[in-house]
Amino acid sequence: MATSPVDPALAALKREARTDPQKAVRQAAVEFERIFVQMLLRSMREATPRFDPLVGSAGRMYEGMLDEAWARELSGRSIGLAPLIERQLARNVRSAGPQAATQALEEAGSERAAAFVARMLAPAREASRATGLPAAFILGQAGLESGWGAREIRRADGSPTYNLFGIKAGPGWRGASVEAATVEYVGGRPERRIERFRAYGSYAEAFADYARLLAASPRYAEALAARGEPERFAQAIARAGYATDPAYGEKLARAIRLAQRLA
């Protein structure tokens, strides 16, 4: 599995917040603007009457993907909201010190997690029915592995693989795959590697494959039996070898608790 669950961009911004708070504030402002644009687009869709009876949960999921793509395209350069947010955050930094920049980044990350949970809740519920795991457990692992959607594995042309769980394409995999950089821990030390990962046709396929993986493999039996306790589930997943990061269990438990609050 992919084993770089800590969002490197967010980690870098946190370090930058301690050395260059103003630059970190600028990045946080752009992230807030992107989230605002995405929420605005979603509200506009919800307020528009639907006349096509064939638009179901899958259609709404793809609409959410389109909204997110537009939000990334528009934020920071078209609507002019980011500079206003940046000025407000900068005033907070001047009065409260560099820790205000770090707090702003944390809040932006939480907003991104909330948008991710809302977008992936339907396929997570399908995977929940297949595994018996709460949807929040599944969303937490997808969020941890993908940086709440910010680090989704992509094809060479930039198109999505929909692989939110970092599932590798082993010898028995017969579907599409891509090569991507990841971090593996060897003897407790991180090493950057190029690995081959599974590629899907949709997020629904990715969640269904994750459900099959957990249900079919005996090594995850202990994790499935801990479906009512986030910490036990997370530690069991880590012991089963889902990832090589020595701190994976703790990180997964935190991600699940966040997903439980948001779902």
Residues known to be catalytic? 184, 209
* CA nearest to 1, candidates 231, 156, 197, 174: 197
| Neighbouring-strand partners of residue 182 | 193
SS3 182: strand
* Distance, CA of 124 to CA of 142 (rounded, Å): 9
Partners of residue 197 on adjacent β-strands:
168, 178
Confirm if 1 and 248 have CB atoms less than 8 A apart: no
Question: What CA–CA distance (Å, rounded) separates 153 from 67?
Answer: 19
177 DSSP β-pair partners: 198
Please say whether the beta carbons of 28 and 93 come within 8 A: no
For residues 164 and 209, the answer to whether their CB atoms sit within 8 Å is no
Q: What is the DSSP letter of 3?
A: -
Structure-token pair, residue 80: 């002019």
Cα dist from 42 to 8, 13, 63, 67, 253, whole Å: 28, 28, 9, 7, 29
